[in-house]
């Protein structure tokens, strides 16, 4: 299956109305970041493709929304089986175009599957409420209905997981879904589309449309698109939210992050160093929940930095397809060069480069987009290495004297996605949890991504919109509530209407 999939995606097309479609737009190249070589040609959407995809989705939504919950969930159960059976194929497509190691790619598919499993139980989450005999002969009840046509605009760093955070909940709730994946690693989206089709999903309910800003703007402004889900950088998230809401759409737009981990002197320092190393350098740091700042409190700093340095130097960097690799390349040469520049600027501003990955070369992969694990100590808050979301394998260490100072650092940061504390004190952990202005918190857990039956999302500049992703918030986002006040009067009372505004005390 894997070789066949790779051959099919030499030309990566759209998936509209149940079939692959080359479309009417231009093309661009897709790269293997481990080798720097072109791996495929991506077909981009033109205006006609956008209009056709939305029109097809609108027709499909009108029918799919009336399909029984039993039939919808039957498709979800089958889709779950198919995704699980094709985990290896999806993972290989991810690694070939994103670069993350194969084990990490498989883990991504697994986390996406958790949301598919949540969506199979959509009937429980769509149950309304009923008030019998609220007034004499009058009942009041509520229920939820799908929005209609929704679009997901997803990032390069999780080409399978993030679409699976969106589409299964949207589709289970009765919507038609248009996926606009990243142009950098688009192949997995086509395999996902084919698996939906094999699961029995009607044509047009899930579609894939490739493109850049023009395609995004077309979805944000199209009158027949009812909702937008977005994950990406904060400036783009803010633009998506502002543009789409101006055009009357419901929007959830998740932005960037600068995730801190506070390490107290009473923490298990070996455990903290192990967890921070994995959280900072896994997937080459290209995660919105990566720990990019270690806030070392008091005497924890020197010991922590020494242990982080030892572990960072032991990481094997290479092609993600190689089972001996712990970390792969960055997604583009521009990403690589930006990381190098920020590290150099920090060094010039007085930061200590404890571990330097700027000049890393991987044998037989000299053209790959690699940067090695990098640890910067004695970083100050005004430095670019702290202020910017680096999105690379760089862990910066800030030193503070107290937990209060650490909390102040976190709360002053414009982002509020995820944070963690490493301590053996329940009192300190409770203080931290209650005082930080961050949406997702880990206690001795470095990457606190909630399980599927909770919801994912941050605060401040990490989220634009009222709804978090997947879980109960996802169901609320992809549906609208209706409340019905109902009376069936006896025939001889049928003409007893009043012109006064009714209240429950009138009956």
Active site residues: 288
Distance CA 484, CA 427 (A): 48
Phi, psi of 232 (to 5 degrees): 175, -155
The β-bridge relationship of strands 37-43 and 463-464 is: unpaired
Residue 70: how many CB atoms within 10 A of its CB? 8
Nearest to 181 by CA among 111, 82, 79, 93: 93
Nearest to 457 by CA among 77, 162, 25, 86: 162
Distance CA 192, CA 183 (A): 16
Please list, in sequence order, all residues whose beta carbon lies within 8 angstroms of the beta carbon of residue 481, skipping any fewer than 6 positions away: 128, 142, 143, 144
Distance CA 368, CA 422 (A): 35
Can you count the helices (H) and strands (E) in the chain? 17, 23
User: Which structure tokens are listed for 450?
Assistant: 């909630």
Q: Treating both helix axes as pointing N-terminal to C-terminal, what angle do 234-246 and 213-221 enclose, rounded to 10 degrees? A: 40
Q: Sign of dihedral through CA atoms 355, 357, 358, 361?
A: positive
Where b means 16+ CB within 10 Å and e means fewer, 354-388 reads: bbbbbebebeebeebbbbbbbbbbbbeeebebbee
Distance CA 489, CA 269 (A): 72
Q: Cα separations (Å) of 162 from 25, 134, 418? A: 25, 43, 17
Distance CA 438, CA 445 (A): 15
Spatial strand order of the sheet with 27-32 comes to 11-12, 37-43, 27-32
């Amino acid at each position: 299956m894997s070789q066949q999939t790779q051959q099919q995606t030499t030309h990566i097309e759209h998936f509209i109305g149940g079939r692959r479609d080359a479309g009417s737009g231009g093309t661009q190249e897709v790269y293997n970041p481990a080798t720097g070589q072109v791996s495929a040609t991506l077909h981009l959407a033109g205006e006609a493709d956008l209009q056709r995809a939305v029109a097809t989705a609108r027709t499909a939504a009108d029918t799919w929304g009336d399909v029984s919950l039993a039939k919808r969930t039957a498709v979800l159960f089958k889709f779950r089986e198919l995704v699980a059976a094709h985990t290896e194929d999806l993972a290989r497509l991810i690694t070939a175009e994103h670069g993350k190691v194969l084990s990490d790619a498989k883990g991504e598919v697994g986390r996406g599957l958790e949301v598919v499993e949540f969506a199979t139980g959509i009937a429980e989450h769509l149950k309304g409420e009923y008030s019998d005999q609220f007034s004499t002969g009058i009942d009041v009840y509520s229920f939820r209905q799908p929005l209609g046509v929704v679009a997901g605009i997803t990032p390069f760093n999780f080409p399978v997981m993030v679409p699976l955070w969106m589409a299964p909940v949207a589709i289970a709730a009765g919507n038609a879904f248009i996926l606009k994946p990243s142009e950098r690693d688009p192949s997995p989206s086509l395999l996902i589309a084919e698996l939906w089709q094999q699961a029995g999903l009607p044509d047009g309910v899930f579609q894939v449309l490739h493109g850049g800003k023009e395609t995004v703007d077309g979805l944000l402004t199209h009158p027949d698109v009812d909702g937008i889900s977005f994950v990406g950088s904060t400036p783009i998230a803010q633009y998506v939210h502002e543009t789409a809401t101006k055009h009357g759409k419901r929007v959830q737009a998740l932005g960037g992050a600068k995730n801190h981990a506070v390490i107290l002197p009473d923490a298990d320092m070996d455990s903290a160093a192990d967890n921070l190393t994995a959280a900072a350098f896994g997937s080459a740091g290209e995660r919105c929940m990566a720990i990019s700042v270690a806030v070392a409190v008091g005497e924890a700093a020197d010991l922590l930095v020494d242990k982080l340095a030892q572990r960072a130097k032991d990481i094997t960097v290479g092609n993600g397809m190689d089972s001996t690799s712990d970390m792969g390349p960055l997604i583009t040469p521009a990403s690589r060069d930006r990381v190098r520049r920020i590290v150099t600027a920090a060094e010039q501003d007085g930061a200590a480069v404890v571990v330097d990955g700027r000049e890393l070369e991987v044998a037989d992969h000299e053209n790959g987009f690699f940067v090695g694990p990098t640890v910067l100590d004695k970083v100050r808050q005004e430095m670019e290495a702290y202020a910017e979301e680096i999105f690379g394998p760089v862990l910066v260490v800030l030193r503070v004297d107290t937990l209060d100072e650490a909390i102040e650092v976190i709360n002053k940061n414009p982002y509020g996605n995820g944070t963690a504390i490493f301590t053996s004190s329940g009192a300190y952990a409770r203080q931290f949890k209650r005082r930080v202005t961050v949406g997702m918190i880990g206690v001795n857990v470095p990457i606190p991504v909630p399980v599927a039956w909770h919801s994912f999302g941050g605060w401040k500049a990490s989220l634009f919109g009222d709804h978090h992703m997947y879980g109960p918030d996802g169901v609320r986002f992809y549906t609208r509530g209706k409340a019905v006040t109902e009376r069936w009067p006896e025939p001889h009372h049928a003409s007893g209407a009043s012109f006064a505004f009714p209240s429950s005390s009138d009956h």
